[in-house]
Structure 1
């Protein structure tokens, strides 16, 4: 019968990961799995090999930056995963039947911009309202979105939730961007019907995208966390 990693040795592998500056539990799980498999493969060839020696050999396979590279890879995987979810969520609003609502909102905004003939002020007001809404979000909603985790545990997935709700930092740049666009194109140019429709389309698109980033994605991350690590959620 082939020798396998015991529960005590498994705990030593977790401790080994922490000693090498891997603090996220979900990353530790992946590394421990790799290390355990590498050690057991060595035992198939040499059952008398000690656990410590097997661990030392397994660690060499990762190289000097092996652990940090795996962490970076895991971060990229999570980012890609939730970016794909966000785009799928967004595309729902441009497919049947939700596209009807999206089109009606875009058309209504387009007609309003034509009616008031004050595109620059309208867009400026929208940006200010957006900034105000994100301040309220940060102070009142953000705290509720945070994952409540048992003390002493850190998760990369929880960090992803934190990052997904930091979008309001980018929103703070919108006033300057909007000003530059109007400054370059000129106020009269943006009164063109085609450009007005483009502005209306963009405002609706940004609104849907922000809602997905601030509410839909955090909800999905929390669901995935509870599915995978229910014992660590409070």
Structure 2
């Protein structure tokens, strides 16, 4: 059996029915299912399209497409943080390393001031709140976009929503764990001061990358990930 466009559309509907919401993941599954259905029908020509489709689907096991979706989600999330790491490395190369050093020295010297802890918390709080706010704004934009295009892209969702919220709460837990409270902050030794200054410098850079750099390059990153995205 050679599958028609109608069959392909039916497979897309089938993936959506089984809780695959992202178009790119749907497309990968459709390609796999279509090839497998044709192979199954070649072996047994008496099977209908629906029977061959269900036979192919059973190969995914009791959890259906869930495992594939989770694997894809994990892969794209790792890809997002690798992109952040790539941009972060640029801050330790000329000419940005000069600004990085100045930020570090500034935060280190600030720790001699009684208001240092307040400044640190304010910097962290600004980045955290900005990430959460941008997450909410982006989620609304993607919801409106979906009503028009009827397509969701996993990596686009990670760049605009999931990645930002993961980043925000990652910073929250790390800050809470590594930075002492106000009283202990003033009693830190030199090693702890260096570490705290480095950490708050990293927060500034991390916030700049997630809030400014990646949003600016979002379309470029999506086109690199999905060659068909620019055609939509």
Q: d(CA) in 2 for partners of 1:208 and 1:110? A: 16
Q: Which has the higher Rg, Structure 1 or Structure 2?
A: 1
- Contact kept? 1:102, 1:204, Cα under 8 Å: yes
Partner of residue 205, structure 2: 208
Tell me whether 1:6 sits opposite 2:4 in the alignment: yes
Counterpart selection for 1:131 from 125, 128, 131: 125
Task: Give 5+ residue unaligned stretches, structure 1.
Answer: none
Cα distance, 1:70 vs structure 2: 0.7
Q: d(CA) in 2 for partners of 1:48 and 1:55? A: 13
Partner of residue 22, structure 2: 24
Moved more, 168-177 or 21-30: 168-177
Q: Where has structure 1 moved over 6 Å in runs of 4 or more?
A: none
Cα distance, 1:103 vs structure 2: 1.6
Structure 2 SS opposite 1:22: coil
Tell me whether 1:163 sits opposite 2:157 in the alignment: no
- Contact kept? 1:10, 1:32, Cα under 8 Å: yes
Cα deviation 1:112-151 (Å, max 9, x = unaligned): 434x3x2xx3132231344245545655796368443425
Partner of residue 94, structure 1: 92
TM-score, scaled relative to structure 1 = 0.78
Structure 1 SS opposite 2:104: helix
Cα distance, 1:197 vs structure 2: 2.4
Q: d(CA) in 2 for partners of 1:156 and 1:177? A: 31
- Contact kept? 1:4, 1:40, Cα under 8 Å: yes
Moved more, 69-78 or 58-67: 58-67
TM-score, scaled relative to structure 2 = 0.78
Q: d(CA) in 2 for partners of 1:172 and 1:111? A: 24
- Contact kept? 2:88, 2:209, Cα under 8 Å: yes
Task: Give 5+ residue unaligned stretches, structure 2.
Answer: none
Structure 2 SS opposite 1:106: helix
Cα distance, 1:14 vs structure 2: 0.7
Give the aligned length.
223
Tell me whether 1:41 sits opposite 2:35 in the alignment: no
Structure 1 vs Structure 2 CA RMSD: 3.1
Q: d(CA) in 2 for partners of 1:39 and 1:90? A: 45
- Contact kept? 1:157, 1:225, Cα under 8 Å: yes
Tell me whether 1:143 sits opposite 2:142 in the alignment: no
Q: 1:100 to 1:182 in 2, by over 3 A?
A: same
Moved more, 17-26 or 81-90: 17-26
- Contact kept? 1:164, 1:218, Cα under 8 Å: no
Once the two structures are superposed, the pairs formed by residues 213-224 of structure 1 within 5 Å of their partners are 213-224=210-221
Q: 1:77 to 1:105 in 2, by over 3 A?
A: same
